[in-house]
């Protein structure tokens, strides 16, 4: 378990601060992550990678010549927010565009997609790409739904080496697509991982058993088997991967492959070498030509005891990119012909640090300022409600997910409350208070819930504005816009076992009630009841999206954590409305 920490809430930030201090010759800190110590050469595509903390050396450890130009780092097992990704991308930009790369998780897809939109508004061309190498997380016919795990490294490296060679943005993207299509990973674990400050692991494995096909965020495996010997583990990993060859490769004989045997946190190097000797033997017997293998901790999951095997099937171009030199804090290969010049064309990152202090607030009417006080009370209540139920939410989420929903909601709601207090103290109206809270929630929570709750609060803020006193229909319109925004952003619909199963009936009931003239308090009461009913009903659904999808059967009988937290919040807000009636 993770034993050395201060406040678990700032663990990720303090780890990143220490990492940057230890590697000042290679990286420099910026808002949201790190970039190369030397600026991106003018005219070179910048490859910016990212994801949650807890996976070192991914993602910050891969920043340097021959690999990433920058890394956006989120909280523990939570994607960085769109604002943080944008900050890192702007600092890394060298004038030729940015390729944003990440593992295929809902929160990362949402936040990196939003960051790309913001970069476009800044006049910076960008592309996004999600790695999908984990064969245990979806069937071959649904490969786009697969997670990104240790295959991140060869895919990131191929794209970054292509950028280093001067390829244009769309050409670099094409390289990433080809590398990803030819990369497969599979993992096993013998124990789960424990987050900083937690007193138990996210999942457990029975004695003398192993989890098969696990995720790197504490998601349990898709099955269990008897604890193997090292040779048996190697045979399982190799046989599984050789059972699914990329399109265009009919048999492994005569093929070249980059091979990565990855330790997930607490399997020691000597153990990895014992396993690798058999991996190499089995691949050799299958006729595979191993090209520059890597054995070690490359994408970890805190203290998880487990290993994964990755094969990237190489063609001539991919082999050249795999062999290309790299010089980062955690990954080094070959050598460059000459020391890299700092480069020109990249603006110092400090110019991209966004601050709210000193920014002139939009003018607000007295009616809106009074409403802002109520909004502040609502956000205090929301944060208190989440604090009360955080452990329960984590337990529900851990049934088929990674168990961090309660922690993420705590981070987000606490940050939103803090930002709202500051904005209200400056005399902001209701709309601005909610907008500030929305950005803070998204930034601090990260992950899927951060993106979605940021969308919800921003939609409400836009509907209320800073001039008029809120009315019941206007509040209902804001909730309706929030519902539409969440569905558009996340792609989920009713029946997918997500918060949408609660948000849609809540919004529809509130809209219908206010349309008939019901006062807001009564309308909200009816809507909160509909939310509670819908949340309970998610126990009977099988998840079709998110991290719980590969473990759908396990979640049957348990409500969705996001749906349940939304219902709790809806009822708590009704209590505030009663008090302010």
The continuous run of DSSP H or E covering 565 comes out as helix 561-579
- 444 vs 386: CA distance, rounded Å: 15
- 554 vs 543: CA distance, rounded Å: 10
> Which pLDDT score is estimated for 225?
87
Contact 490, 106 (CB under 8 A): yes
486 Cβ contact list (under 8 Å, min separation 6): 452, 455, 456, 492, 499, 500, 503
> Which pLDDT score is estimated for 177?
98
Q: What share of the chain is helix, strand, coil (3-state, %, to 5)?
A: 50, 15, 35
pLDDT band at 407; cut points 50, 70, 90: confident
* Active-site annotation holds for 217: yes
- 213 vs 154: CA distance, rounded Å: 20
> Which pLDDT score is estimated for 399?
83
- 65 vs 72: CA distance, rounded Å: 17
Residue 359 has pLDDT above 70, yes or no: no
Catalytic residue among 23, 69, 217, 389: 217
> How many percent of the chain have pLDDT more than 70?
93
* Token pair 């208190």 in the structure block, residue: 384
The Cβ of residue 507 has, within 10 Å, a number of other Cβ atoms equal to 23
DSSP state string for 320-358? HHHHS-EE-SS-EES--SSPPP--SS---GGGG----TT
pLDDT band at 552; cut points 50, 70, 90: low
Q: Classify residue 208 as left (phi > 0), alpha (psi -120 to 50) or beta.
A: left
In whole angstroms, how far apart are CA 262 and each of 58, 134, 310, 500, 545?
Answer: 12, 13, 8, 36, 27
Residue 120 has pLDDT above 90, yes or no: yes
- Give the pLDDT mean for 379-407: 89
The continuous run of DSSP H or E covering 507 comes out as helix 500-515
> Which pLDDT score is estimated for 547?
54
What are 304's two structure tokens? Answer: 């998880």
> How many percent of the chain have pLDDT more than 90?
77
The four Cα atoms 405, 407, 412, 418 give a dihedral, to 10 degrees, of 160
- 274 vs 283: CA distance, rounded Å: 15
pLDDT in tens, 497-548: 999 999 999 999 999 999 999 999 999 999 999 999 999 999 999 888 655 5
Query: Rounded to the nearest 5°, which phi and psi values hold at 285?
Result: -65, -30
> Which pLDDT score is estimated for 459?
96
């Amino acid at each position: 378990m993770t034993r050395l920490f201060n406040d678990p809430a700032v663990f990720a930030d303090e780890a990143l601060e220490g990492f940057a201090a230890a590697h000042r010759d290679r990286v420099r800190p910026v808002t949201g992550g790190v970039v190369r110590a030397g600026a991106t050469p003018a005219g070179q595509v910048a490859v910016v990678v990212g994801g949650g903390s807890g996976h070192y050396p991914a993602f910050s450890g891969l920043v340097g010549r021959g690999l990433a130009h920058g890394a956006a780092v989120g909280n523990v097992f939570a994607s960085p927010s769109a604002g943080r990704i944008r900050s890192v991308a702007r600092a890394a930009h060298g004038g030729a565009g940015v390729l944003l790369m990440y593992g295929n998780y809902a929160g990362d897809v949402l936040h990196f997609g939003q960051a790309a939109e913001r970069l476009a508004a800044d006049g910076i061309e960008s592309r996004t790409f999600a790695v999908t190498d984990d064969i245990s997380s979806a069937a071959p016919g649904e490969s786009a739904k697969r997670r990104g795990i240790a295959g991140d490294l060869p895919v990131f490296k191929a794209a970054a080496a292509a950028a280093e060679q001067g390829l244009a943005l769309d050409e670099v993207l094409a390289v990433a697509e080809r590398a990803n299509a030819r990369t497969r990973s599979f993992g096993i674990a013998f124990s789960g991982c424990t987050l900083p400050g937690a007193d138990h692991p996210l999942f457990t494995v029975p004695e003398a058993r192993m989890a098969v096909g696990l995720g790197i965020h504490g998601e349990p495996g898709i099955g269990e088997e008897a604890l193997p010997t090292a040779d048996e583990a190697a045979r399982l990993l190799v046989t599984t991967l050789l059972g699914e060859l990329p399109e265009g490769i009919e048999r492994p004989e005569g093929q070249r492959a980059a091979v990565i045997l990855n330790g997930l946190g607490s399997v020691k190097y000597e153990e990895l070498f014992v396993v690798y000797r058999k991996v190499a033997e089995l691949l050799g017997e299958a006729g595979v030509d191993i090209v520059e293998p890597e054995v070690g901790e490359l994408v970890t999951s805190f203290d998880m005891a487990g290993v994964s095997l990755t094969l990237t099937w190489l063609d001539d171009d991919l082999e050249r990119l795999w062999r290309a030199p790299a010089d980062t804090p955690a990954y080094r290969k070959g050598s460059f012909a000459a020391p890299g010049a700092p480069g020109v064309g990249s603006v110092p990152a400090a110019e991209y640090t966004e601050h709210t202090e000193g920014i002139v607030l939009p003018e607000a009417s007295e009616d809106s300022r009074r409403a802002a006080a109520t909004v502040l009370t609502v956000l205090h209540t929301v944060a208190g409600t989440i604090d009360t139920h955080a452990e329960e939410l984590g337990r529900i989420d851990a049934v088929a997910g990674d168990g961090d929903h309660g922690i993420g909601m705590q981070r987000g709601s606490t940050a939103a409350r803090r930002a709202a207090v500051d904005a209200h103290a400056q005399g902001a109206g209701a709309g601005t208070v909610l907008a500030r809270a929305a950005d803070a929630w998204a930034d601090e929570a990260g992950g899927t819930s951060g993106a979605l709750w940021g969308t919800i609060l921003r939609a409400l803020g836009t509907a209320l504005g800073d001039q008029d006193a809120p009315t019941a229909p206007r509040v209902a319109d804001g909730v309706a816009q929030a519902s539409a925004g969440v569905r558009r952003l996340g792609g989920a619909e009713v029946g997918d076992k997500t918060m949408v199963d609660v948000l849609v009936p809540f919004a529809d009931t509130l809209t219908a009630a206010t349309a008939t003239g019901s006062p807001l308090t009564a309308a909200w009461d009816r809507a909160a009841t509909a939310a509670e009913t819908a949340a309970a009903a998610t126990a009977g659904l099988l998840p079709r999206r998110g991290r719980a999808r590969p473990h759908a059967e396990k979640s049957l009988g348990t409500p969705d954590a996001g749906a349940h937290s939304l219902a709790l919040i809806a009822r708590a807000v009704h209590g505030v409305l009663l008090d302010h009636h």
